[in-house]
Amino acid sequence: MVSLNSKELHFLLVPWLAQSHIIPLTDFAKLLALHGVSVSIITTPINAQRYKSIVTHALKSNLKVQLIPLYFPSQEFGLPQGCENTDTLNSLEFFKDFFLASEMMQEPLEKLIQNLEPKPSCIISSSLLTWTQQVASNFKIPRYIFQTVSCFNLYCSYILNQTKIQETLVLDSDSFLIPNVPHKIELTKAQLPYDSRKQSSQDVQSIIDKIKQSQDLAKGTLIHTFEELEPWYIDAYKKVVNKVFCVGPVSLCNKEMDEMVDRGNKASIDEHNTCLNWLDSMKPKSVIYACFGSLCNISFLQMKEIGLGLESSNVPFIWIIRGLNFTPQVEKWLRDENFEERVKGRGMIIRGWGPQVLILSHPSVGGFLTHCGWNSALEGISCGVPMITFPMFAEQFYNEKFIVNVLRIGVRVGVEVSIDSWDEEKNGVLVNKDQVKKAIDQLMDKGLEGEERRKSAKELAHLSKKAIQEEGSSYLNIKIFIEDVLHVLKNKEEGS
Ligand code: UDP
């Protein structure tokens, strides 16, 4: 067999079916293709339709990127028709069925690979898609994992797994310090991700075990972070797992306006005429951008507190109310209160999907009220925007600690406990309008503390951009990663 060169490599990217995985992996596809390789993104028909514009943008730049849809058996697993992305699940109870349905993609993927040209040389997948390890083994190609969380989070979770401190905590309010890290990171039991806080059911434990096993078999891990952002935590994590490549922030691959607009869903607003004109009319760094990601179900009462807090801050704002949170009750409240009239001229509500990266990179934006999803956090960091942290579940409290205590570019709104379900009414009110207003006042403050935060945020944005540029750390790490794949394939050839 003749040895491959990097231009002949063909990568299969298989993201978990959630916005927070498909978006960064499609961005990463473009960064990878910039090195001359071919990339195929494997997803489902509805997601392929949603993301098709990325292929148009990639082709315009002569990048070899394609999307390949595979059948997803939603209805066979009791999920609603068309449910092919976790952002359409309105209860965590469906998660297990969704996970099981995703496992059914293995066979169609194997059939696809048999006929795919050029032959795939490597699989990169989210850690949740454990069956992709089996596919890689069957076709004798390497598999790497793509992590959409920080090394800070990965390392702190590793420490908890080693020390089992969480098992000594009794009350939800019991707090502890993460040991053996250079920053003072204090969390309570109630702020830990569900599986570190509660005994997992057998089903969930078996999913966790599968993830761990397939992670151990992977050839390496690509992480959505960059070397200059968290050097201590990256070094520490590199000592505990095999081969780490930090390749972010991937959102910076979107340079043109239409690329930023077409990320994820189609934006629910006429981005040029409305959103941008409005932002253009605002003073530099004066606007708060409020967005809570693609998954969080926020209760009606909490929505009201957020709206009233934004209003009473007297600061201009853009507030994204995602589709599933935009209930008839919320609409009625906005109408009965005449809310939009009351904030006219300084408050804009986007119902559905906002062009987040486009908004965050506008010079009028001075603060980001965020739920602390890692992609959002990194997008805020790469645009140099200080943040108000409003974590709700999963690893979001770790991200809050990272933004506030490690990077010192954020202010807590004051959420104390993680929510346990996506049942919005059960989740009630996590913070009230006064806390929202207070955090906005603090973040936008012109005093020394506010200036320090803005300065640090600006420096991090500069470092992010450098990391992605040619010869920057993430650019070079992608190059090293490609060489690693070539090396693994060469060893395989020699061995066979
Ligand atoms: N996003 C967006 N517009 C929205 C909501 C979300 O573009 O109105 C994007 C956001 O830029 C990010 C992703 O969706 O890339 C959300 O991922 P994250 O990890 O922040 O949070 P999750 O949705 O998983 O909670």
Three-state DSSP class for residue 410:
strand
Same domain, 193 and 51: yes
Q: Ligand 1, from 28, 224, 298, 375: best to mutate by most atoms within 8 Å of Cβ?
A: 375
Find the 391 Cα to ligand 1 centroid distance in Å. Answer: 14
CA distance 55 to 74: 25
Q: Within a domain: residue 303?
A: yes
Count of structural domains, the chain: 2
Going from the Cα of 19 to the center of ligand 1, the distance in angstroms, rounded, reads 6
CB atoms inside a 10 Å sphere around CB 269: 22
Q: Are residues 48 and 129 in the same domain?
A: yes
Q: How remote is the CA of residue 216 from the centroid of ligand 1, in Å?
A: 28
At 350 the three-state DSSP class reads strand
* DSSP character at residue 404: I
Chain segment 399-424, per-residue pLDDT in tens:
999 999 999 999 999 999 998 766 65
What phi and psi values does residue 481 have, to the nearest 5 degrees? -60, -45
- Output the domain CATH number for residue 11: 3.40.50.2000
Question: Both 73 and 150 in a single domain?
Answer: yes
Both 358 and 228 in one domain: the answer is no
Q: In this predicted structure, what is the pLDDT of residue 1? A: 46
* Ligand 1 centroid, distance to 163 Cα (angstroms): 32
**Residues in a beta bridge with 122:** 11
What pLDDT is attached to residue 259? 87
The 10 Å Cβ neighbour count of residue 449 is: 13
- Whether 189 maps to a domain, the answer reads yes
Considering the domain architecture, whether residues 220 and 205 belong to the same structural domain is answered as yes
* Backbone torsions φ then ψ of 142, nearest 5 degrees: -75, 155
State whether 121 and 27 are in the same domain.
yes
Rounded Cα distance, 339 and 343, in Å: 6
- 68 is a domain residue: yes
Using only the alpha carbons of the chain, give its radius of gyration. Answer: 22
- Establish if 19 belongs to a structural domain: yes
The tokens of 62 are what?
A: 């002569």
Tell me, what amino acid is at 354?
G
Q: What is the reported pLDDT for 7?
A: 85
Q: Cβ(325) to ligand 1 under 6 A?
A: no
Distance CA 360, CA 288 (A): 10
Q: What is the pLDDT of residues 11-43, one digit of tens each?
A: 999 999 999 999 999 999 999 999 999 999 999
Report how far ligand 1's centroid is from the alpha carbon of 383 (Å): 15
The answer to whether residue 1 sits within a structural domain is no
Residue 384 lies in a domain: yes
Based on the fold, state whether residues 151 and 289 are members of the same structural domain: no
pLDDT, residue 424, reads 58
According to the 3-state scheme, what is the secondary structure of 194-254?
HHHHCCCCHHHHHHHHHHHHHHHHCCEEEECCCCCCCHHHHHHHHCCCCCEEECCCHHHHC
- Same domain for 50 and 157, yes or no, is yes
Nearest to residue 106, comparing CAs of 83, 73, 76?
A: 73
* 386 and 473 both lie in a single domain: no
CA 102 remoteness from chain centre = 19
Q: Whose CA is nearest to atom 3 of ligand 1?
A: 354
Domain span at residue 263 reads 256-463
What pLDDT, on a 0 to 100 scale, did the predictor assign at position 403?
A: 98
User: Are both 388 and 441 inside the same structural domain?
Assistant: yes
The answer to whether residue 117 is domain-embedded is: yes
186-188/175-177 β-pairing: antiparallel
Q: Are residues 119 and 267 both part of a single domain?
A: no
- Judge if 204 and 336 occupy the same domain: no
* pLDDT at residue number 194: 81
Q: Which amino acid is at 451?
A: E
Cα separation values, 172 from 135, 168, 194, 405, Å = 41, 11, 12, 22
Regarding the beta carbon of 358 and ligand 1, being less than 6 Å apart is answered no
- Tell whether ligand 1 has an atom less than 6 A from the beta carbon of residue 264: yes
Instruction: Give me the average pLDDT of each 10-residue run along the chain (496 residues).
Output: 78 98 97 97 96 88 95 95 91 86 97 96 97 97 98 97 91 95 96 82 84 93 98 98 96 90 74 83 97 92 96 97 89 97 96 93 98 98 98 95 98 92 69 98 96 98 98 98 96 79
